[in-house]
Amino acid sequence: MSEKDVVERAREWMDQDPSASDRDELAALIAEDKRDELEERMGAELEFGTAGLRGIVGGGRSRMNLANVIRTTRGLADYLLARVPDAKTLPVVLGRDGRLSSDDFMRATRQVLEGASIPVRYFVEPVPTPIVAYAARQLSASAAVCITASHNPPEYNGYKVYASNAAQIVPPVDGEIAGRIARVESAAKVKLGGAGELSEAIPASLVDRYFAELDALRPKLHVDRDFAIVYTPMHGVGGKFVMRGLEQTGFRRVHAVAEQFEPDGHFPTVKFPNPEEQGALDLSLALAKECDAELILANDPDADRLAVCVKTFTGRWLQLTGNQIGVLLADFMLAAAPATPRRMVISSIVSSPMLAALAKHYDAHWDQTLTGFKWIWNAAMDLEAKGGVNYVFGFEEAIGYSAGHLVRDKDGISAAVLFAEMAAALKAGGKSVLEHLHELYRAHGLWVSTQKSVTLPGADGAEAIASAMERLRASSPERVGGAEVLGMTDYEQGAADRPRWLPSANLVAIELDSGRILVRPSGTEPKLKIYVDLCQQLDSEQSITGAEDDLAARAASVAEDMAKLLELT
């Protein structure tokens, strides 16, 4: 396209943009002749998919802004009016996190739905994403929208959509909504409501109901909960919710990180508001030392994920991986759940295969899905509908967990309460969390997981990633990092023979004599991701720490060798 074209496109966008600040932003770029920046902002549309929308906030076609929120909501409204018979009777539930633009985006969403004669039930104050998902189920909503960018950097925001089953949308629904959004040419021409006759605030009693259900969900234990816990919501919206959940369970010595407790969209104390990032838990660790804590719990800013730190045998703090937290919680919930109907656990395909071994021990059904709780919960509902199984727990390695039928999505609030309760139960039995994890390794095999990401930006990078995947599909290696290859599965093939939660995907799984490798391009970044999971059976006297270090080094070597075989290093 010519340089003139990008300026014309920017001016056309400005003509329909309801945001004066976004219009001024684009006008300044035009005046300063910043054509590369304009090309980036006016290139591809902000894509609507199974995660809804997510992007950098600002003016332009490819940014997260009022114009895109209005167009997206009109497309969603058109979908509901066409597909949901009671769309003008059943409400759409709305909630938002504490990011700087979330209030404006939620207000615009509500006005568009009102303009389409669709009733709205909304949270007045910022709330965790799992509370929005809970409300969708409780209020029999036709859909729900949460304005959130989860743990992304401060400059991002997003628009997360739940279907009428209170789980995240999955194909083909996302595609149909995207098609209807594409037909909304101008945000300025979208009819807005404003009188509020169709909108109603969600009462505090609904949140009370969530905590009552959470209390019913947790195993009832008569244990001492008198130990210090440090908690941080990471400048997000989970603070008062997690503190309430822990207090009602009997944990009185919970020390919140004061500098990170109130919602703050600037995220002033962290470079990246993700508890998995290096340095994000520094304030928590300092507070834990000060109050002699035994456990650290941390949410991401929308409180749908949970990170955990525990003490080692030498008193050092260790941050558990998402797989380790998932296996521990799965064991805790399986042990407490009734055996009839048959217990069921589900994990995403990139999560540790150790859950399968744990399920076998409990005679529970185990299944796996593509990445995302949208698939985990749709699988759970499908399998329960067939009869004979009851969903107990699901997790994905990216520190996401869902226990029982409380929320049909990952929930960092209930996960925090359940993990604390598990720690209390273990302490009452004279064991630490880490000692119990090691017991599970001895009983079911030591599993370690590692991930290697190869970043290849730009068009050349995208071509290199595509070529690497083609080479892998064309010729399976015989050995990788010293491990023998037993077989390979290409998830672009055979989808018709798999359940709908394992549809066609750009993913290759390689079965090893000691574990497996998964290779897939990232859906959101210019990266090729290589996941390696290795297993080793342990002798009764074998040092777990030493074996874990050795196996982790082997896994890293396998990942590195896989990248070399793909000609990416």
Per-residue pLDDT of 454-469, as tens digits, reads: 999 888 899 999 999 9
Give residue 217's pLDDT: 97
Give me the mean pLDDT over the 155-177 stretch. Answer: 97
If one counts every other C-beta atom within 10 angstroms of the C-beta of residue 156, the result is 18
The reply to whether omega before 153 is within 30° of 0 (cis) is no
Give me the mean pLDDT over the 341-365 stretch. Answer: 97
The correct answer on CATH 3.40.640.10 for the domain covering 446-565 is: no
Mean pLDDT of the chain: 96
Per-residue pLDDT of 105-141, as tens digits, reads: 999 999 999 999 999 999 999 999 999 999 999 999 9
In this prediction, what percent of the chain has a pLDDT beyond 90? 94
pLDDT exceeds 90 at position 3: no
Give residue 459's pLDDT: 85
Joined together, the tokens standing for residue 313 give: 């045998």
Give me the mean pLDDT over the 196-221 stretch. Answer: 96
Give residue 1's pLDDT: 44
Residue 189 near residue 99, CB atoms below 8 Å: no
Give residue 442's pLDDT: 96
| Structural domain boundaries in the chain | 3-202, 208-319, 446-565
pLDDT-based confidence at residue 4 (cuts at 50, 70, 90): low
In this prediction, what percent of the chain has a pLDDT beyond 70? 99
User: Taking the domain 208-319, which CATH number applies?
Assistant: 3.40.120.10
Per-residue pLDDT of 254-289, as tens digits, reads: 999 999 999 999 999 999 999 999 999 999 999 999
Half-sphere exposure of 134 (CA within 13 A, CB side): 29
Residues acting as catalytic residues: 150
pLDDT exceeds 90 at position 541: no
Per-residue pLDDT of 324-338, as tens digits, reads: 999 999 999 999 999
Per-residue pLDDT of 470-500, as tens digits, reads: 999 999 999 999 999 999 999 999 999 999 9
> What would the DSSP string read from start to end of 397-458?
TTTEEEETTS-SS--HHHHHHHHHHHHHHHHHTT--HHHHHHHHHHHH-EEEEEEEEEE--H
Quote the CA–CA distance of 74 and 182 in Å, as a whole number: 10
pLDDT exceeds 50 at position 526: yes
Best CATH choice for the domain 3-202 from the list 3.30.70.1710, 3.40.120.10, 3.40.50.2300, 3.40.50.300: 3.40.120.10
Q: Does the CA dihedral 364-370-376-377 come out positive or negative?
A: negative
pLDDT exceeds 60 at position 223: yes
Residue 436 near residue 313, CB atoms below 8 Å: no
The DSSP call for residue 90 is S
Reduce the secondary structure of 239-284 to three states and give it as a string: HHHHHHHHHHHCCCCEEECHHHCCCCCCCCCCCCCCCCCCCCCHHH
Q: Say if 3-202 and 208-319 have the same CATH topology.
A: yes
Quote the CA–CA distance of 258 and 263 in Å, as a whole number: 11
